[in-house]
Amino acid sequence: MNLVRYVFQNQHKLIQQLLVQGGPVRACSGHGGTQQQAQLRIEEDDNFPKIAEVPPLAAPFPMTIEHAADVGEQFKYSDLSVRLAAPHQLNPKPDVDDLAFGKYFTDHMLKVPYHRRLGGWQKPEITPMENLNLHPAAKVFHYAIELFEGMKAYRGYDGKIRFFRPEMNMARMNVTAYRSGLPTFEGEELIKAMARLVMIDSEWVPHTESASLYIRPTLIGIEPTLGVASSDSALLYTILSPVGPYFKPGAKGLKLYAEPKYTRAWPGGVGDRKVGSNYGPTIHVQQEALRHGCHQVLWLYGDDHQLTEVGVMNIFMLYMNENGERELITPPLNGLILPGITRDSIIRLCHQWGEFAVRERNFTMPEVKKLSKEGRLLELFGAGTAAVISPIEHISYMGEDIDVPTESQDNPLYRRLYNTLTDIQYGKLDHPWAYVID
């Protein structure tokens, strides 16, 4: 019997069963808040389709944080003041075709100072884009007491400007602040302040779906004292930069350099936190990759050469398992990789589609080689805010060249994911992950 017809004919029984199991069913609403309702699944048996609860996927990090008592007062969006740039302080806007990542900056910035001796967070202020005046002994310069996030604002086909899951960035930023001995803050207050900043500089949001406005919230320790200790003074600031594609349009898939002697992160470290000290030491290895004719580094870990990240992106592999079924895997959140927001979005979308298994598990270069030789390796791709999704076509590993058929698949998964994510970001697909600002 057709399931849909059966449901309509017996909807009174369905409603009665739902009420018995715990009341009305509620859907998620708003801008993608942290309260997630259980998803529902219909299971058929010989008598009647039964409703069973499927637990929602857990967040990749705590979505709320309890501020330490000594953090003091929190800043509020309602206290925000604005000092607009004078005409001579306005910057010329680049042509969208000339945009490069992180090269140009808008006219204004957001600043929120923190001083423990003054009671905690001070009032937020939007000012003209300007240099920071810091003491040479500021802790950020000596002990890398700093962290940052990467977000974007997108101008949709309807002219509206959207963020993408900004509450996730705020939660991850607070977790990193706690790990770095820096003060935590109320994420929603910063989101509202950044939305105001973007609206003030709204003409810098590109009028095209091939570009966006990159948002860089940053938190640094500015106490002017030497000594490895938490900073009693800090500065939270946000700058904006219009950006084009992270990789050049028309470029083929990525070529990766996998050298086991280099390690990006290790257990118990801060490989899962977005701190600058994770990035500076990778520059030398990236230069080595370029000398070998590769675009990015494929970071490996352990004696078994586990894949962890590609460049500054999370990595996914689609392959055919031993049962002849497609399976998507990505490294687990075991402290070695950044809990990416694009990563989390991909996992959730694929779970919702329900077309293949999605697993978080370790996988190694010997496994990749074996799958390639057996013709079961289908796709490899990187994922992150800057590049969204980037296909991988080649790996250079210990003197061997491994070709990856990502681009040669019929209707490749990476492209479907890219189109779905960008449709949400640019407003073509209505979705709670899109946060419309006004």
Sign for the pseudo-dihedral over CA of 137, 139, 143, 148: negative
Residue with tokens 């306005």, as numbered in its chain: 90
What is the DSSP pairing of strand 212-221 with strand 233-243?
antiparallel
In sequence order, the β-bridge partners of residue 394 are 255, 403
Model pLDDT for residues 20-63, shown as the tens digit of each residue: 344 443 333 344 443 344 344 334 444 433 333 445 788 999 99
In sequence order, the β-bridge partners of residue 111 are 125, 237
Q: What is the CATH number of domain 254-426?
A: 3.20.10.10
Could you tell me how many helices (H) and strands (E) the chain has, helices first? 9, 21
Q: What is the pLDDT of residue 438?
A: 84
CA distance 300 to 54: 34
CA distance 421 to 162: 13
Residue with tokens 């500089």, as numbered in its chain: 201
Q: What is the pLDDT of residue 248?
A: 65
Indicate the DSSP class of residue 269: S
CA distance 8 to 12: 9
Six-digit token pair at 172? 């991850």
Residue ranges per structural domain of the chain: 77-245, 254-426
Q: What is the pLDDT of residue 100?
A: 85
pLDDT at 251 over 60: yes
The tally of CA atoms less than 13 A away on the side-chain side of residue 322 is 2
CA distance 164 to 436: 9
Amino acid at 340: G
Q: What is the pLDDT of residue 249?
A: 57
Amino acid at 136: P
Residue with tokens 């209505």, as numbered in its chain: 430
CA distance 240 to 83: 16
pTM to 2 decimals?
0.86
Per-residue pLDDT averaged across 272-276, rounded?
A: 96
3-state helix, strand, coil in the chain (%, to 5): 30, 25, 45
Residue 204 pLDDT level (bands cut at 50, 70, 90): very high
- Residue 144 falls in which region: left (phi positive, over 0), alpha (psi -120 to 50) or beta: left
pLDDT at 171 over 70: yes
Q: What percent of the chain has pLDDT over 90?
A: 81
Average model confidence (pLDDT) across the chain: 89
Q: Which fold has domain 77-245?
A: D-amino Acid Aminotransferase; Chain A, domain 1 (3.30.470)
pLDDT at 113 over 50: yes
Model pLDDT for residues 138-166, shown as the tens digit of each residue: 999 999 999 999 999 999 999 999 999 99
Phi, psi of 200 (to 5 degrees): -65, -40
Distance, CA of 435 to chain centre: 15
Per-residue pLDDT averaged across 250-277, rounded?
A: 93
pLDDT at 111 over 50: yes
CA distance 319 to 327: 6
pLDDT at 18 over 70: no
Six-digit token pair at 42? 């219909």
Model pLDDT for residues 368-424, shown as the tens digit of each residue: 999 999 999 999 999 999 889 999 999 999 999 999 999 999 999 999 999 999 999
Q: Do 68 and 203 form a contact (C-beta atoms < 8 A)?
A: no
CA distance 40 to 119: 47
